Amino acid sequence: MTLNDTLHRLLLDNLTTATILLDADLRLEYMNPAAEMLLAVSGQRSHGQFISELFTESQEALNSLRQAVEHAHPFTKREAMLTALNGQTLTVDYAVTPILSLGQTLLLLEVHPRDRLLRITKEEAQLSKQETTKMLVRGLAHEIKNPLGGIRGAAQLLARELPEESLKDYTNVIIEEADRLRNLVDRMLGSNKLPSLAMTNVHEVLERVSSLIEAECQGSITLVRDYDPSIPDVLIDREQMIQAVLNIVRNAMQALAAQSDLRLGRISLRTRTLRQFTIGHVRHRLVVKVEIIDNGPGIPPELQETIFYPMVSGRPDGTGLGLAITQNIISQHQGLIECESHPGHTVFSIFLPLEQGAS
């Protein structure tokens, strides 16, 4: 191998773009580490395998690749759906470039995953909305709490001047309602308490939540645990994280309670680790992913974009503060929370960096 060959191989190996080289029979000649990570396969072990043994797409896509070999015609495909060997579905853009080498046509595939870009875009929009909401809530809280203090003080002064004790029932109502509104505003603002960080096993948090939920539902809902025992301890505030997860699981329990046959309700708690995961503008080497999955009726589509806003609830008796508080706690830990929902399947995913704690 010449110096140029070594340099070219080094450049390909260090590209962040997934790059795959196929021979004229659509068998693997080379894939760089970025492609290995994307498809979750080993390039060395997969050498010589037919393309459909690496990932599957449509028959039409295979025909397009064969035509590219025959006619040496490059093409690009947008938002293609690939299914990797591990069953994961990937949304990608890919460009196919025929290359003539030693009398045969090779195909160079440059694959750009769209899932991550779409997720990052959605996440950035969510974080921007969250910051806007915080500013609005803080401004609203200031405007509400000032007159509430005046109303409460005036009611207290009025109570002292009333000639009959029975009339104080009315001023007591004013004082109690003013306190209730102040407490509601404080809950909307979230806790000002800084996280008390300690190395914690995330499964301890989930087990504590499980014990609370099992006591509440008294066996009427099936609780499934699917843990990865190899996950290391995370630097978190244990009590705050219990509150964050409990808010989600309790919402799932209440959604299941609305179904006709409660015995069929199931909540799953699943933990996994992910490598090279981006949260905000930071790419983390390793994160822990906690999923809370239920088979309830799902979240209405019109609420899915706003469920993390304060005062937004899918239940007539809901306050709409649980998920807002959860998102605030996860954000304090430099994490991320996402939700996907359709009837019969709702997943809340919490991502927490493993190499650092909360800010």
Which of 83-97, 285-299, 319-333, 335-349 shows the lowest mean pLDDT across its residues? Answer: 319-333
Residues 53 and 147 both lie in one domain:
no
Q: What is the mean pLDDT of residues 100-105?
A: 83
Q: Do 227 and 263 have their domain in common?
A: yes
Quote the CA–CA distance of 31 and 305 in Å, as a whole number: 38
Same domain, 87 and 231: no
278, part of any domain: yes
pTM tops 0.85: no
Residue 266 maps to a domain: yes
Say if residue 201's pLDDT is above 80. Answer: yes
DSSP 3-state percent helix, strand, coil across the chain (nearest 5): 45, 30, 30
Q: Are 120 and 278 in contact (CB under 8 A)?
A: yes
The 10s digit of each residue's pLDDT in 136-172 is: 767 777 777 788 888 888 988 888 888 888 888 888 8
Task: Specify whether the CB–CB gap between 325 and 304 falls below 8 A.
Answer: no
In a domain, 358, yes or no: no
Weakest-pLDDT range from 105-119, 126-140, 247-261, 330-344: 126-140
Q: Which pLDDT value is given to residue 89?
A: 82
19 and 123 in a single domain? The answer is no
pLDDT at 125 over 70: no
